[in-house]
């Protein structure tokens, strides 16, 4: 029995933090295309070299690349109870490819969460993360592009999921623990995941 979560939310909304908490509590594997791409850049692989400039500019890496990344990552973690897709899908083509990949093994997306954060909270969070993690795309300019990119890709992908199911909103302005509680309640409504 597997359980798959798509976790939507703007950059620096706390998605990664929450996904990691849910991952360790429920044995789901977090798959963040952003994290995997950053590791490729750090390791200076061909893929990383191809992706670096695009990422630094806050633009989207091609569908083929990220779909391939997810396919590999899912195959490598085939013993996971399910996946939390974080930062993926970002286009309808990616969303469709994900449904198709899961369908091959009789799986599906079980819940779509949308973490919501007020517009003016972004810049403060991004500045804080830039200080803490030193990511090369955490600059004010790249952030503006990434927020705009989030708006446009969520306007493309959320309707794809809305046509299939209700998207569950999560208030990302609350304290970390309270956000986790909201997510656990949402997951519990869909399926009783044994911790």
Binding stretches for ligand AMP (CB under 6 A): 11, 33-34, 37, 54-55, 58-61, 66, 87-90, 94, 146
What 3-state class would DSSP assign to 133? Answer: helix
Closest CA to 176 of 1, 19, 8: 19
Smallest distance from ligand AMP to CB 11, Å: 5
> Do 7 and 46 meet the contact criterion of CB atoms below 8 Å apart?
no
Smallest distance from ligand AMP to CB 139, Å: 12
Looking at the Cβ atoms of 54 and 186, the one nearer to ligand AMP is 54
Q: At a CB cut-off of 8 Å and minimum separation 6, what does 141 contact?
A: none
Looking at the Cβ atoms of 55 and 130, the one nearer to ligand AMP is 55
DSSP character for 15?
Answer: H
Smallest distance from ligand AMP to CB 7, Å: 10
Q: And the tokens for 174?
A: 């609350």
Looking at the Cβ atoms of 68 and 188, the one nearer to ligand AMP is 68
Query: Can you tell me the distance from the alpha carbon of 154 to that of 69, in angstroms, rounded to the nearest whole number?
Result: 20
Closest residue by beta carbon to ligand AMP: 34
Number of H helices, E strands in the chain: 8, 5
Looking at the Cβ atoms of 102 and 193, the one nearer to ligand AMP is 102
From residue 61, alpha-carbon distances to 56, 114, 140, 149, 175 in Å are 11, 22, 20, 12, 32
Q: To which H or E segment does residue 102 belong?
A: helix 92-104
Smallest distance from ligand AMP to CB 39, Å: 11
Looking at the Cβ atoms of 2 and 145, the one nearer to ligand AMP is 145
Smallest distance from ligand AMP to CB 54, Å: 5
Looking at the Cβ atoms of 58 and 172, the one nearer to ligand AMP is 58
Smallest distance from ligand AMP to CB 61, Å: 4
């Amino acid at each position: 029995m597997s359980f798959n979560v798509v976790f939507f939310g703007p950059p620096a909304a706390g998605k990664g933090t929450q996904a990691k908490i849910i991952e360790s509590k429920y044995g789901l594997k977090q798959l963040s295309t952003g994290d995997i791409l950053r590791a490729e850049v750090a390791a200076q692989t061909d893929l990383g070299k191809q992706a670096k400039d695009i990422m630094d500019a806050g633009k989207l890496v091609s569908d083929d690349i990220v779909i391939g990344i997810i396919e590999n990552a899912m195959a490598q973690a085939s013993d996971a109870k399910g996946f939390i897709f974080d930062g993926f899908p970002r286009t309808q083509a990616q969303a469709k490819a994900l449904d198709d990949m899961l369908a091959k093994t009789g799986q599906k997306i079980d819940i779509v969460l949308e973490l919501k954060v007020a517009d003016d909270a972004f810049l403060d969070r991004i500045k804080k993360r830039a200080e803490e993690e030193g990511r090369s795309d955490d600059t004010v300019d790249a952030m503006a592009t990434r927020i705009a990119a989030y708006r446009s890709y969520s306007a493309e992908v959320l309707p794809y999921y809305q046509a299939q199911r209700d998207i569950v909103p999560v208030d990302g302005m609350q304290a970390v623990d309270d956000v986790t509680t909201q997510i656990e309640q949402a997951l519990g409504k869909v399926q009783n995941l044994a911790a």
